[in-house]
Structure 1
Amino acid sequence: MSGSGLPENVAELSGTPDSAGSLARMLTILDLFTEQDPVWSTADLIDALETSRSTGYRYIKTLHDAGLLTTVRNGYYSLGPRIIEMDLQIRQTDPLLLASQGVLEELVENVGHSALLLTAFRDSVLCVGEVRAPSSPANRFSRGQRRPMFQGAGSKVILAYLPHHRLKAIYPRYSDEIEKAGLGASWSEFRKALGEIKKDGYLLTRGEFNPGVYGVAAPILTDQKTSVGSVGVAWDEHVRDINVEQAIKAVKEAAATVSWRLTQNQNDS
């Protein structure tokens, strides 16, 4: 360890003139590993980075030494075991997950359909928790998957409660996507559409990801009434035993419970 408390290989990077840029570029290596491309060769990683071979080798070695990459065979890498270790730590300590304990299970029991816990991540939403109902399709949204911020009930209710300054930053970058999502063709229309969601306190959508699938979600809020996530359920339109009003009420109560627990836990810490 260095005197800064960082591992030596990371401390070395922080001493370069463009340390922030170097670190950011090194970390983009991790984004290259996907379900479709889980293994990369050294040469392909360096080509994707569009950097010198010496810099590319240094980045790969640093990530490998940190356990973020692992060797699967000579010159080929996949994501490393340190990520698994970090995921366990998140599951045991994440405030949002802790505040939701038992809530999603009760929601599934009350509504009879799968429940999801989402949070904002960059300009998208990430599934951080799920409880599956019996016979639920396996290909539905699940932990670790991302979706656009402008599609689906769980995404849009988070968007509606984001701080004003963040919405002002998001709108010019994604105005086309916002219009395609039916959220308005101008800043004023966008704000009006989000205001309607906030007035209701929930959102019900149909077919925005899978044809004929309904989704209802409500926001998880801070004590400043800004969103940190959402709780939602989904069901197929052919299901006959669903009481939509009951589902909306149960989802809103679940989100309110998680919001209250989250605030209480933060106040107690």
Structure 2
Amino acid sequence: MLNVLDLFSEAEAVWSTADIIEALETSRSTGYRYIKTLHDAGLLTTVRNGYYSLGPRIIEMDLQIRQTDPLLLASHGVLEDLVDKIGHSALLCTAFRDSVLCIGECRAPLSPANRFSRGQRRPFFQGAVSKVILAHLPHHRLKAIYARHSTEIEDAGLGGTWSVFRKTLGEIKKDGYLLTMGEFNPGVYGLAAPIFNEQKTALGSVGVAWDEKARRDVEVQQAVLAVKQAASTISERLLLENQQRS
């Protein structure tokens, strides 16, 4: 039933009953039951007779997440300080399935409107905010990810074998940050550092980006130190919060 929600996107924001049933490849009775259940829960809303969009309950849940999510709460003020220090927009990201989701952002003045932002996903194998999380995942999870995505991993230049993939991630892990160039937009640098839980597994990452042509005044090592400090501050806050709860 929850697969119904995955049908909706920015490009296809409204779906008819018939199209939902066809996409799910299910019976009409089952399709109608799914739609009614989701509609009653507020996860779907009626646009017009027989047509639906995502519902108001999702907006309510988003507010609850903004007010209660431990990772977001631990980042309060940190992204803003990062923007003040190095003059670039800052992002807070977390792993979601086999991808990375942006959950928080603080935009710098004159920041391009089309950059990665809250609610958007990116592949696990491209970009600094993604790969720096990937490098700090547990061994067993990396093995499972490699088994599912070996072709994508090779195409991303992370290694054509498991041993090379592991070695590549080991180099990122050793550095404690990652600087990339042009992986999504030509001439755009990406810089990110991991956020850890108590087990030193990456829960997410803090990242910034800047255009080489638009910003030639960037002192890279200063930016690296600032991003690593931001990630460390969030990690420490999460640890303290967990200790207080226990």
Aligned equivalent of 1:90, options 62, 65, 86:
65
Unmatched 5+ stretches in structure 1? 1-25
- Cα offset, 1:141, TM superposition: 0.3
Which of the two has higher C-alpha Rg?
A: 1
Question: Partner of 1:75 in structure 2?
Answer: 50
Aligned equivalent of 1:115, options 82, 90, 94:
90
Quick one: percent identity of the two aligned structures?
78
Unmatched 5+ stretches in structure 2? none
Aligned equivalent of 2:229, options 238, 241, 253:
253
> Which digits, 9 at most, give the CA deviation of each residue in 1:186-242, with x for residues without a partner?
100011001000110000000001111001000001121110000010000111111
Question: Partner of 2:119 in structure 1?
Answer: 144
Please give the alpha-carbon distance, in whole angstroms, between the structure 2 residues aligned to 1:175 and 1:237: 32
Which amino acid letter does the alignment assign opposite residue 108 of structure 1?
V
What SS does the aligned partner of 2:2 have?
helix
> Which digits, 9 at most, give the CA deviation of each residue in 1:23-80, with x for residues without a partner?
xxx1000000000000000000000010000000000000000000000101000000
Please give the alpha-carbon distance, in whole angstroms, between the structure 2 residues aligned to 1:107 and 1:164: 31
2:42 matched to 1:42?
Answer: no
TM-score, with length taken from structure 2:
0.98
2:240 matched to 1:264?
Answer: yes
2:155 matched to 1:203?
Answer: no
- Cα offset, 1:104, TM superposition: 0.2
Which amino acid letter does the alignment assign opposite residue 91 of structure 2?
L
Please give the alpha-carbon distance, in whole angstroms, between the structure 2 residues aligned to 1:147 and 1:129: 14
Number of matched pairs: 244
Question: Partner of 1:185 in structure 2?
Answer: 160
**RMSD, aligned α-carbons:** 0.5
Which amino acid letter does the alignment assign opposite residue 118 of structure 2?
R
> Which digits, 9 at most, give the CA deviation of each residue in 1:173-196, with x for residues without a partner?
111111111111110001100100
2:214 matched to 1:243?
Answer: no
Please give the alpha-carbon distance, in whole angstroms, between the structure 1 residues aligned to 2:11 and 2:33: 25
Please give the alpha-carbon distance, in whole angstroms, between the structure 1 residues aligned to 2:150 and 2:200: 25
> Which digits, 9 at most, give the CA deviation of each residue in 1:114-137, with x for residues without a partner?
000000000000000000000000
Please give the alpha-carbon distance, in whole angstroms, between the structure 2 residues aligned to 1:207 and 1:266: 37
Question: Partner of 2:150 in structure 1?
Answer: 175
TM-score, with length taken from structure 1:
0.90
